[in-house]
Amino acid sequence: TIQVAEFLDRLDVFFMLVLVIGGFFKMSIFMYAVTDGVTVLFKLKNPSKIVHVIGIIILILSVSIASNISEHVKEGIEFVPLYVHLPMQVILPAFICLVAYVKMKKNKKKAV
């Protein structure tokens, strides 16, 4: 147990509660972003129709990717940094920046 002074005991329960609530809000924000992105991408008028479909897809993928916590941690250490973080945080932004730069140069030439 975590103990601060002599009157605060069992702080590990509060830390776990904060982790669970934080995880819930993190996943809620991610699901909102996916729903909003799909709505914009497919030009849907009502995003509430797609929320259930996305929730079911997330549920099926979460169970099929890792069936227990140790497998989940292994996937997070080995697979995610190489196949998710690298493309999404380095390659894709660099490509988008390059495309924006080329478009900007192309628009400048047309203006002159």
Taking only the tens place, the pLDDT of each residue in 13-64 is 788 889 999 999 999 999 999 999 999 999 999 888 899 999 999 999 888 8
Total domains in the chain come to 2
Per-residue pLDDT tens over the stretch 86-97: 999 999 999 999
User: What percent of the chain is modeled with pLDDT above 90?
Assistant: 54
Task: Please give the pLDDT value at position 2.
Answer: 57
Same domain? For 38 and 88 the reply is no
Which 3 state secondary structure label does DSSP give 57?
A: helix
Residue 111 has pLDDT above 90, yes or no: no
Same domain? For 90 and 59 the reply is no
Task: Please give the pLDDT value at position 63.
Answer: 85
33 located within any domain: yes
Residue 85 has pLDDT above 60, yes or no: yes
Domain housing 101:
78-112
Same domain? For 43 and 3 the reply is yes
Backbone angles phi, psi at 8, to 5 degrees: -105, 100
pTM for this model (two decimals): 0.62
The set of residues, in sequence order, having a beta carbon less than 8 Å from that of 38 and lying 6+ positions away, is 44, 47, 50, 54
Same domain? For 59 and 85 the reply is no
CA distance 52 to 70: 28
Residue 3 has pLDDT above 70, yes or no: no
Same domain? For 55 and 82 the reply is no
Same domain? For 85 and 57 the reply is no
107 located within any domain: yes
Same domain? For 42 and 13 the reply is yes
Task: Please give the pLDDT value at position 49.
Answer: 84
What average pLDDT does this structure show over 60-69? 86
